[in-house]
Amino acid sequence: MNIYVSNLSFNVTDDDLEGFFAEYGEVASARVITDKFTGKSRGFGFVEMPNDEAARKAITELDGGRVEGREIKVAEARPREERSNNGGGGGGERRSFSRNNSYNNRY
C-alpha cells in the first residue's frame, strides 16, 4: 500500500519517515518529497508498505500524531490524476487580448 504523509516538519528525512512506519511492519520505501530547485523538503512524503494490514494499522495510529510540534496527516495515497493538456492551468475560459482597449490606447 502506498501511504501519503503530510504536514511534515521540514527537518524530517527519508530515514526518519521510514522509522515512523517500521514499527508497524516492513517498509519497502519512504521518501520525503523535495523541491527540485532548492532540494528542501516540501513538507510531505510517501511510504510504501507491502502488507496492507500493517499499513492500515500504521495509518490509523500515526494520523494526527505530532512530529516536531506538527500534527501530521496520514492516509492511503490516491492515484495521481492525469493532467489535461489544454494549454493552461487554471479555471475556466481563456482570456482574450485586444489591442482596442483603453489601457493600450494610452501608450
Render pLDDT for 72-89 as a digit per residue (tens, 0 to 9): 999 999 987 776 655 555
**Dist. CA 9–CA 7, nearest whole Å:** 7
Any idea which fold 2-76 has?
Alpha-Beta Plaits (3.30.70)
Copy the grid coordinates of residue 20. 515512523
Render pLDDT for 2-46 as a digit per residue (tens, 0 to 9): 999 999 999 999 999 999 999 999 999 999 999 999 999 999 999
User: Does 107 score more than 50 pLDDT?
Assistant: no
Looking at residue 10, the DSSP 8-state letter turns out to be: T
Residue 9 near residue 69, CB atoms below 8 Å: yes
Residue 64 near residue 71, CB atoms below 8 Å: yes
Please count the other Cβ atoms lying within 10 Å of the Cβ belonging to residue 5.
28
Closest CA to 46 of 55, 37, 38: 55
